[in-house]
Amino acid sequence: MVNFRTRTSIWLVGHCVFLTVLAIRAHAADSEGVAMPSWSGFYVGGHLGYAWGDSHWTIEGPGAEATSGTFGFFRPFDPFKGTGSYFAGLQAGYNYRLPQGVVIGFEADVQAPNTLMGERTIASPSVGQASFSKTVEMSGTLRGRLGLVQHGWLLYGTAGYAWSYEQFLRTQLAGGTTTPDSTEKATAFRNGLALGAGIEFPVAVRWTAHVEYLFTALGAQTVTFPSTAQRFDSDLSAQSLRIGLNYQFGEGADRADGPTAPKSDQWSVHGQTTFTQQYAFPFRAPYRGPNSLDPNSGRETWDAVFYLGWRLWPGAELWVNPEIDQGFGLSSTFGVAGFTSGEAYKVGANFPYARLPRYFIRQTIGLCGETEKLEDAPNQLAGTQQANRLVITAGKIATTDIFDTNRYAHDPRADFLNWARRRCVGLYVWCGGGVVPGPLDGAPWVF
């Protein structure tokens, strides 16, 4: 019997393969009349992938007590919560093509995981019962690439330096001399090596897609928890499969006209990044509580959103919106009735984390009426549609994607930033002094 979580993991791996097939299909459909890339020059892009791996650890405590074990870092994808050991990231690099189709280059990337962690509960006579967890907050690589161009496709191998930044957490559960429910935190920066291979191919003028496998081996690191004098030693090895999209700047005069959007009615990519810095000036506050606005304080939020779409068959579209978020609202989003930033509704985090707020299939069935032209836009493929139509959407989306399309107060990234300006019909909207339920991180499945 295969349980639900295992099925969702198989679904996600199949989804990655499916997206690869779609990319190849888009390449085949759009390749006629599309110039092959020179495979020389700078490029930038983004990627989405899934990771798995393990960490061997040893805990040594007072009295020479020692316990060892292994953390498994694979987390199955939960389509309702949107959690799993997947990640989103950005990359940039440079290629140089030699005679005979040989390509050499380098690439730097950084990843923000959704959930890449392990946890274990341990008990000993001297320190009692405690849980230990290890979380990968960020990771990245700096690698060289060596490849060969065959029929316009680049087959390459890659190797180089890898790093990760991790957080360790110890929580006292019972016994010992430490106060129950007390926690200690420690952090560590880890260095290691990366090795992998991939294939990259053109999908539009100056745009290439790639599929890549990467193995990283990161060295041993030690952290200490002072309250119990326990030492935590661990290593980390991880594997990942990622799909990505690059914009090729080219060389010399090829870069003069700047980036150009892909032109296709079969697939689409859009992106947006928003940084918000806010500050509360000093003010007199004789009555203050834990939910009050703090004077003389500032916080920031940052996110990067990508809108990836493919046409499955006539009238059907698949959309995935990976997002990277970081930051906090002023006073942890307390103290103001109509909060000052609509970007601060997400889960606050010191380090960037990946999430998938939307993934859905939309089927449009034309009925009658005039034919309307559709321009390429986020979550909208270029094409045509009839004025009278039936639209069926299935997947994870936000209520306001359909029912709150006010052009002036719909998206804080482009419209009014203040929550109080937003209409009282659903997600993270302030209404009469209270927040209407429906957090975007747990956006509902809609059929």
List, for residues 172-182, the tens digit of each pLDDT value.
Answer: 888 877 788 88
Within this chain, do residues 357 and 226 fall inside the same structural domain, yes or no? no
What are the φ/ψ torsions at residue 348 (nearest 5 degrees)?
-70, 140
- pLDDT tens-place string over residues 260-298: 667 788 889 988 888 989 898 998 888 888 888 889 989
- pLDDT tens-place string over residues 1-14: 334 343 444 444 44
Within this chain, do residues 352 and 312 fall inside the same structural domain, yes or no? yes
Whether 102 maps to a domain, the answer reads yes
Within this chain, do residues 145 and 233 fall inside the same structural domain, yes or no? yes
What pLDDT does 174 receive?
85
| Per-residue pLDDT band at 346 (split at 50, 70, 90) | low
Whether 257 maps to a domain, the answer reads no
Determine the Cα–Cα distance for residues 331 and 53; give it in Å rounded to an integer: 37
The residues with which 422 forms a beta bridge, in sequence order, are none
Q: Which residue has the higher pLDDT, 183 or 446?
A: 183
What pLDDT does 435 receive?
35
Contact 359, 320 (CB under 8 A): yes
Whether 265 maps to a domain, the answer reads no
The total of structural domains in the chain comes to 2
Most confidently modeled of 180-194, 251-265, 429-443?
180-194
Within this chain, do residues 201 and 327 fall inside the same structural domain, yes or no? no
Determine the Cα–Cα distance for residues 274 and 344; give it in Å rounded to an integer: 12
3-state secondary structure 165-209: EEEEEEEEEECCCCCCCCEEEEEEEEEEEEEEEEEEEEEECCEEE
Within this chain, do residues 98 and 150 fall inside the same structural domain, yes or no? yes
Within this chain, do residues 330 and 238 fall inside the same structural domain, yes or no? no
Within this chain, do residues 321 and 172 fall inside the same structural domain, yes or no? no
Whether 285 maps to a domain, the answer reads yes
| Per-residue pLDDT band at 37 (split at 50, 70, 90) | confident
* 402: number of Cβ within 10 Å: 12
Assign residue 258 a region: left if phi > 0, alpha if psi is -120 to 50, beta otherwise? left
What pLDDT does 345 receive?
65
Whether 365 maps to a domain, the answer reads yes
Whether 256 maps to a domain, the answer reads no
Segment among 201-205, 248-252, 433-437 with least mean pLDDT:
433-437
Domain of 147, CATH number, reads 2.40.160.20
Segment among 26-30, 242-246, 248-252, 420-424 with least mean pLDDT:
26-30
Tally the C-alpha atoms within 13 A of residue 232's C-alpha that lie toward its C-beta: 27
**b/e map of 225-242 (b: 16 or more CB within 10 Å)?**
bebbebebbbebebbbbb
| Per-residue pLDDT band at 164 (split at 50, 70, 90) | very high
What pLDDT does 340 receive?
81
Within this chain, do residues 217 and 299 fall inside the same structural domain, yes or no? no
The residues with which 274 forms a beta bridge, in sequence order, are 303
Average pLDDT over the chain reads 82
Residues 235-257 have a mean pLDDT of 80
User: In this model, does residue 423 exceed pLDDT 70?
Assistant: no
Whether 431 maps to a domain, the answer reads yes
Contact 78, 84 (CB under 8 A): yes
What pLDDT does 1 receive?
37
- pLDDT tens-place string over residues 357-412: 899 999 999 999 899 999 988 899 999 999 999 999 999 887 777 776 666 666 77
- Percentage of the chain beyond pLDDT 70 is 80
User: In this model, does residue 94 exceed pLDDT 80?
Assistant: yes
Determine the Cα–Cα distance for residues 137 and 8; give it in Å rounded to an integer: 24
The length of the chain in residues reads 447
What pLDDT does 123 receive?
82
What pLDDT does 258 receive?
58
- pLDDT tens-place string over residues 424-441: 433 433 333 333 333 344
Q: Which of 251, 286, 320 is the last residue of a domain?
A: 251
Residues 15-39 have a mean pLDDT of 56
DSSP H helical ranges for 293-424:
400-403
Number of H helices, E strands in the chain: 2, 18
Whether 297 maps to a domain, the answer reads yes
- Percentage of the chain beyond pLDDT 90 is 43
Rounded to two decimals, the pTM is: 0.82
Q: Which residue has the higher pLDDT, 27 or 204?
A: 204
What pLDDT does 405 receive?
67
Within this chain, do residues 203 and 324 fall inside the same structural domain, yes or no? no
Determine the Cα–Cα distance for residues 326 and 341; give it in Å rounded to an integer: 14
| Per-residue pLDDT band at 413 (split at 50, 70, 90) | confident
| Per-residue pLDDT band at 442 (split at 50, 70, 90) | very low
What pLDDT does 436 receive?
35
For 96, the token pair is 């140089």
Quick one: DSSP state of residue 248?
E
User: In this model, does residue 16 exceed pLDDT 80?
Assistant: no
The parent domain of residue 91 ranges over: 4-251
Within this chain, do residues 181 and 285 fall inside the same structural domain, yes or no? no
- pLDDT tens-place string over residues 106-135: 999 999 999 999 998 888 777 888 889 999
Within this chain, do residues 130 and 99 fall inside the same structural domain, yes or no? yes
Within this chain, do residues 81 and 180 fall inside the same structural domain, yes or no? yes
| Per-residue pLDDT band at 247 (split at 50, 70, 90) | very high
